[in-house]
Amino acid sequence: MKERFDTLSATCSRETTRLYSTSFSLGILFLKKEIRGPIHAIYGFVRLADEIVDSFHDYPKSLMLAELKADTFTAIERGISINPVINSFQQVVNQFGIKHQLIVQFLNSMEMDLGEQDYTHEKYEEYIMGSAQVVGLMCLHVFTKGNEEEFERLKMPAMKLGSAFQKVNFLRDVNADYQELNRTYFPDVNLSAFSDDNKRDIENDILKELDEALHGIRQLPRSCRKGVYLAYVYYKQLFRKIAKVPAEKVMSERIRVSNGHKFYLMFDSLVRYKLNVL
């Protein structure tokens, strides 16, 4: 009867993705059917941890995150969890040989969000590695299906893509992070006097990583290339919108891509993919 619970678990992870991220949901639709479930499972787990540190302000977040960590590794060892999202995730970890250190690094970055941080360049890189790059590597384990040689070849571009996505998120959410959560991720940047020069330096860093990531996307297996490319196109468009506005506007409102435009990008990406003009 566990098969029925596993189906429920997969459904919970899929619906979590749909509820929280239109862009990733669209990207996953472009993956081959057999790998959609595992990517939903990874996103669902990541979102669970993210919600604890970002949303549950009236609850013991530190304790809840510690419980999530313990429950996750217990589930991986047992091969089951009564939490559907964790159950779905542990299956993927065990099936695709996702390294436990990646999970530890991710949860360590989530712990960094529990308190105020003075982000030096070293801590900034550590946070991005744990919060974004390792998530890209988890997905890459699924995409390469246990082929270590292929994984190693594509590892660096996957990390660059995760890093670029995270930095775009930082710019998009910079006002909310600063005003509501009292977080300042960018090192050596005073957000109370955030300037166009500050913003331009961050954008140049992002653009370089996006370019390096695209090189890796072109080399991905066909089973996932189209979906990853769509996520890339969406983030590239969001990045362009942010780049067009002054720092003052970024600090006063959240720049976004409308759902209608996301669907346009989806069809445009499909055409480009079919024409092999990535």
The region of weakest confidence among 1-10, 146-155, 246-255, 267-276 is 267-276
Q: Are 246 and 191 in contact (CB under 8 A)?
A: no
58-82 tens-digit pLDDT: 999 999 999 999 999 999 999 999 9
Q: What is the mean pLDDT of residues 215-240?
A: 91
134-161 tens-digit pLDDT: 999 999 999 999 899 999 999 999 999 9
- In the block, residue with structure tokens 């961050």: 202
Strands (E), the chain: none
Global pTM value:
0.90
pLDDT, greater one: 177 or 116: 177
In terms of Cβ atoms closer than 10 Å to its own Cβ (0-12, 13-18, 19+), residue 32 is middle
pLDDT at residue 271, as a whole number: 55
User: To 5 degrees, how large is the angle CA 37–CA 43–CA 48?
Assistant: 125
Structure tokens at 115: 């308190």
One-letter amino acid identity for 138? M
80-92 tens-digit pLDDT: 999 999 999 999 9
Structure tokens at 276: 């092999």
Band of residue 276 on the pLDDT scale cut at 50, 70, 90: low
233-259 tens-digit pLDDT: 888 989 999 999 999 998 988 877 766
Task: Give the rounded percent of residues in the chain with a pLDDT score beyond 90.
Answer: 71
Domain residues of the chain, as ranges? 2-268
**What class does CATH assign to 2-268?**
mainly alpha
pLDDT at residue 192, as a whole number: 87
Residue 34 pLDDT > 90: yes
Distance (Å, whole) CA 149 – CA 98: 15
154-210 tens-digit pLDDT: 999 999 999 999 999 999 989 888 888 888 899 988 888 899 999 999 999 999 999
Coil/strand/helix, residue 58: coil
